[in-house]
Amino acid sequence: MLRTYNVPMDIFNKIAGQYDAWYDTRRGNAVFKVELAALRKVDTGGDGWAELGVGTGRFAAPLYIRHGFDSAPKMLAAARGRNIAVCAADIAALPVKDGRLKGGLIMMTLCFLTDPAAVLREAARVLKPAGSLVIGFVPREGAWGTSYALMAEEGHPVYSRGKYYRAAAVRKMAESAGFVYERAASALFFGPGEEPPETEKTEEGILSTAGFVAMRFGKRH
């Protein structure tokens, strides 16, 4: 039984097309570009990487991540269409031997996990001794995180199933699961109700004004 997500699988299946199409809108494309830039800034992806909670493969593909795990069939079908080798799996119990992966990405998935600590421990298990984990998320303290949390309180069908963490809490969870914090990049400095600027930058480190943060961790020896 696939039990990782606290959002029912049918919801992910229903929003698969909508989720992917949003990134093709002007606002969605602006968000996508800055989030992708932040992930690249912390050296995400390449040979030997897999995305845990790959979704439609929207981020995995340009990061040259060729393997992905997820529990929503329609999301997996879209990822497969982006030439990603996908596997239907609970990301808290991956069908991967110990120490096989060079790197793992958890992108916009942490907030929807029933047991994020279990998933992070599983990521540590499947990574090589010198492996890396990147977590991309919307921090609770930023404008986007505040907006999502408010929509959750108002009963939004998807956001109400998530839990939005502060950056410090995400770092603590990863460190407790066997990782060592290395570096981060922050992005998305325009608010959810604002027009995207013509150019948007990413910044080193974790900034409280950011709507998106990518944290890179190494596996503790």
Does 55 reside within a domain? yes
Q: Which residues of the chain fall below pLDDT 50?
A: 1-8
Does 3 reside within a domain? no
Q: What is the CATH number of the domain that holds 55?
A: 3.40.50.150
Does 180 reside within a domain? yes
Global model pTM greater than 0.85 = yes
Does 2 reside within a domain? no
Q: Which helix (H) or strand (E) is 214 found in, with range? A: strand 212-219
Alpha helices (runs of H) in the chain, residue ranges in sequence order = 9-22, 26-41, 73-80, 116-126, 143-153, 167-176
Distance separating alpha carbons of residues 4 and 115, to the nearest angstrom: 7
The per-residue pLDDT for 10 is: 63
The per-residue pLDDT for 18 is: 85
Does 23 reside within a domain? yes
The per-residue pLDDT for 182 is: 98
Distance separating alpha carbons of residues 174 and 121, to the nearest angstrom: 8
Does 4 reside within a domain? no
Does 206 reside within a domain? yes
State residue 188 phi and psi, 5-degree precision.
65, 70
Count the domains in the chain. Answer: 1
Structural domain span for residue 207: 9-219
The per-residue pLDDT for 7 is: 44
Does 71 reside within a domain? yes
Q: Which long-range contacts (CB under 8 A, 24 or more apart) does 27-31 make?
A: 27/196, 30/190, 30/196, 30/200, 31/188, 31/196, 31/212
